[in-house]
Structure 1
């Protein structure tokens, strides 16, 4: 079976986009990875409407990407903070890859908005594709992609 003969209904890229592909979702994840926890902080930082933010946070929580943790400021009612789960943190390389692409092709002339560096040596962080055999810096011409065991014929 060739790629164009395979259905994309169970494609992991499509299934991932079904969960995180809505507008603002990756920005919420970016902020969560950078320490934003509270609804009002997300809303203020991104300029989102309460309705859109509530919808995205609810969906991310239902998907197990965020979890809620109660907090209470003195004199206020109890509220929830939003924290990345392990599943959410596993999206961090995706955020770094998007940042890297954006810095290459859509960079602000003033420089990066966020400077991400390795804590130990201070070098900039970047994403590289490697195989499980330890070969780093693979490019598309270095790999072969073909339908896998989960591929279904296109209907």
Structure 2
């Protein structure tokens, strides 16, 4: 059942958490953003049980964040790769915000997180930007209900 807001509706944040917010789904999406496409590679990079990974991949496909593509190496049976859809690529901004927040507020001496860069290789950051293109500071942003 979706998380509800006090007015009895479901807000977009609650829907997103319900659909994508568990630990394994977020880590599968991180790995996918890094270029991982094959089941065995997800399993080995994440140390996740096969049944849990199967469930998460299916859920992410069902939600339109990943898509399945068949591939076949010579002499082998047909297998499946998982690639980000447009919605999955757009979700990278959320992963970027989570990573930035974690680096700033949960520092680690051995940070093995990911970094996002532009086409020229320069680091990018997630920010609130107004309709004129001005980057806003957190204290310049108000949150309200619709």
TM score, norm. by length of structure 2: 0.87
**Cα root mean square deviation, aligned:** 1.9
Greater relative contact order (CA < 8 Å, ≥ 6 in sequence)? 1
Give the structure with higher Rg (CA): 1
Unpaired runs of at least 5, structure 2: none
Q: TM-score if structure 1 supplies the norm length?
A: 0.82
Residue number in structure 1 paired with 2:56: 56
CA contact (8 A) 2:99 2:113 kept: no
Q: After superposition, where does 1:1-150 map in structure 2 within 5 Å? A: 6-7=6-7, 9-120=9-120, 122-139=121-138, 141-148=139-146
Which structure 1 residue ranges, 5 or more long, are not aligned?
149-155
**Total equivalences in the alignment:** 142
Indicate if the aligned counterparts of 1:103 and 1:112 stay in contact, CA closer than 8 A.
no
What secondary structure sits across from 1:24 in the alignment?
helix
CA distance, structure 2, for counterparts of residue 43 and residue 58 of structure 1: 14
Take 2:142 and 2:107, find their aligned partners in 1: how far apart are those partners? 31
C-alpha change, 1:6 and 1:113, in structure 2 (3 Å) is: closer
Q: Is the 8 A contact 2:66 2:82 kept in 1?
A: yes
